Copies of this chain bind each other. A is one copy, B any other.
């Protein structure tokens, strides 16, 4: 994999134009979907060409010294206008140009970042830090009146230092996942942070949104891989020390992690790396009953074994994305290590699973797992293609989206029931009942779980954004009302704001708001996200 160039990028959809589904793939997908949603109108609505859209001229002009960093080319502005949520894609397909940044600024150095912030602060122009633009929560969209500058950090994409002894590297925030791994691979190192957006998102984006990665346990979030941060704020540059652990006051890094561009622009980070895994074992376990599947997963999560993968797919998810037919669920469990064989770890996990009436379907070591067409690898390839499939279905008036959250184990059964019921009722009301709700666990913890819901519903062309909004609101209400988090790893952005505001303790909101005013007195940084 290599980083997409600006030319490769799809202006309207996920990832690259090259990544879009082929005709054969689309046809097969439509056929599979039609089997579940018969009677739906699958007419394909192709995206408009960016040149056909009437993009208004920019409302701001950069000072001469910054002009070379700024682009007002329409396709640049269009491709930075929003992220890659379903509602973003559909609005692109419809040619709806609600909010377009006036300029795309591309700093080449940290000083450029400082200078751009200075200009925008002085001129009071909202500035939105932009990494890979893969936000699915409205994180990069200037959803407000008046001008805006999108600051694309893609030019700050170097690995500046590698400390092999401590297994850490100083990395610029604008680097994309594949370019980063390409730089680390020759040294036998890896960040091992693989969100679904890996190819189309950046280190800075992961940090600013507290992204969730590859690991099902332990370092599930980028937070725990962070050794120190360097952040340009309007009030100065913040740089924390490289420390493996510290108890010196509240963690400075934890204030910037998840700040979604509201407090400053992350330019560099020292990240904790790992040796590339040598041993890997993986297995899939089928369950007849959902409660057994959940209990087995919980037992593994609480065992202290720390699997690298521990995904429980519900029957619909297992069928659609792993080609497996199960009554209660399919658990994909894996262990890996750069230091030692992990067969004993997997064996104990499978003992726990079978104690809850699981049936081991496949069990493979690394090499064979990659070759065989088993459920794990089928699911893995499907996983990376999902956003492209979503785009193909969005063009055909389907509503395809995901909702992710986390809750404690004791509450899971009620929680899950409430969320899936809310989704089903909303699909009923909004789409006349034509829809499917799926669930998988993406991350597991000793004290709880991160369930990830998928919704496939038959929409009406021209109305799917509104339909999506209604379903989203209904599910979000259920999540918020039953004690879950409005996001486990997709961030808050603008789409999750109403529920985030309820979830966040009021005194913390007051404190965060005061911190923002202190760091960003002009209030230019990503307004509308998190605070104000």
Within 8 Å by CB of A258, from B237, B247, B305, lies B247
A28 — which chain B residues lie within 8 A by C-beta? Answer: none
A318 touches B (CB below 8 Å): no
| Residue pair B244, A490 in contact (C-beta under 8 Å) | no
Which chain B residue lies CB-closest to A164? B410
- Greatest chain B CB density within 10 A among A233, A242, A409, A447 is at A447
| Contact (A507, B519) CB under 8 Å given A167-B446, A249-B260, A259-B250 | yes
A272 — which chain B residues lie within 8 A by C-beta? Answer: 446-447
| Contact (A490, B340) CB under 8 Å given A165-B409, A166-B448, A511-B519 | no
Complexed CA–CA distance, A446 and B274 (Å): 8
Tallying the copies of this chain within the complex gives 2
Within 8 Å by CB of A506, from B238, B246, B255, B408, lies B238
| Residue pair B487, A247 in contact (C-beta under 8 Å) | yes
- Greatest chain B CB density within 10 A among A245, A252, A486, A512 is at A245
A177 touches B (CB below 8 Å): no
| Residue pair A255, B250 in contact (C-beta under 8 Å) | yes
Count class of interface residues, chain A: 35 or more
| Per-position binary interface string of chain A over residues 489-522, scored 1 when its CB falls under 8 Å from any chain B CB and 0 otherwise | 1111000100010011111101111110111000
| Residue pair A249, B406 in contact (C-beta under 8 Å) | no
A245 — which chain B residues lie within 8 A by C-beta? Answer: 212, 220-221, 406, 443, 445, 448, 450, 485, 488-489
A275 — which chain B residues lie within 8 A by C-beta? Answer: 302
Complexed CA–CA distance, A491 and B248 (Å): 6
| Residue pair B447, A505 in contact (C-beta under 8 Å) | no
| Per-position binary interface string of chain A over residues 390-417, scored 1 when its CB falls under 8 Å from any chain B CB and 0 otherwise | 0000000000000000111111000000
CB distance from A165 to the nearest CB of B (A): 4
A188 touches B (CB below 8 Å): no
Complexed CA–CA distance, A264 and B166 (Å): 36
| Residue pair B212, A252 in contact (C-beta under 8 Å) | no
A190 touches B (CB below 8 Å): no
A433 touches B (CB below 8 Å): no
A247 — which chain B residues lie within 8 A by C-beta? Answer: 209-212, 221, 258, 485, 487-491
Which chain B residue lies CB-closest to A224? B224
Complexed CA–CA distance, A233 and B509 (Å): 13
| Per-position binary interface string of chain A over residues 266-295, scored 1 when its CB falls under 8 Å from any chain B CB and 0 otherwise | 000000101100000000000000000000
| Residue pair B251, A254 in contact (C-beta under 8 Å) | yes
A518 — which chain B residues lie within 8 A by C-beta? Answer: 510-511, 513-514
A443 — which chain B residues lie within 8 A by C-beta? Answer: 245
| Residue pair B507, A236 in contact (C-beta under 8 Å) | yes
Which chain B residue lies CB-closest to A339? B303
A3 touches B (CB below 8 Å): no
| Residue pair B505, A511 in contact (C-beta under 8 Å) | no
| Residue pair B485, A241 in contact (C-beta under 8 Å) | yes
Q: Which of A413-462 contact B (CB under 8 A)?
A: 443, 445-450
A337 touches B (CB below 8 Å): yes
| Contact (A258, B263) CB under 8 Å given A165-B410, A503-B241, A513-B518 | no
Within 8 Å by CB of A244, from B248, B252, B408, B510, lies B408
A146 — which chain B residues lie within 8 A by C-beta? Answer: none
CB distance from A243 to the nearest CB of B (A): 5
| Per-position binary interface string of chain A over residues 124-147, scored 1 when its CB falls under 8 Å from any chain B CB and 0 otherwise | 000000000000000000000000
| Per-position binary interface string of chain A over residues 85-113, scored 1 when its CB falls under 8 Å from any chain B CB and 0 otherwise | 00000000000000000000000000000
A530 — which chain B residues lie within 8 A by C-beta? Answer: 249
A235 touches B (CB below 8 Å): yes
Within 8 Å by CB of A339, from B249, B274, B305, B514, lies B305
A239 touches B (CB below 8 Å): yes
Known contacts A233-B507, A245-B448; 12 further A-B pairs (Cβ under 8 A): A241-B484, A241-B503, A243-B407, A243-B484, A243-B485, A244-B448, A245-B489, A248-B503, A263-B511, A339-B348, A510-B518, A514-B517
26 contacts between A and B (CB under 8 A): A168-B447, A212-B247, A227-B408, A231-B507, A238-B505, A243-B408, A244-B407, A246-B488, A247-B258, A247-B491, A248-B485, A248-B487, A248-B500, A248-B504, A249-B260, A250-B255, A250-B256, A250-B257, A250-B259, A254-B255, A275-B302, A304-B340, A339-B348, A507-B519, A510-B519, A514-B517
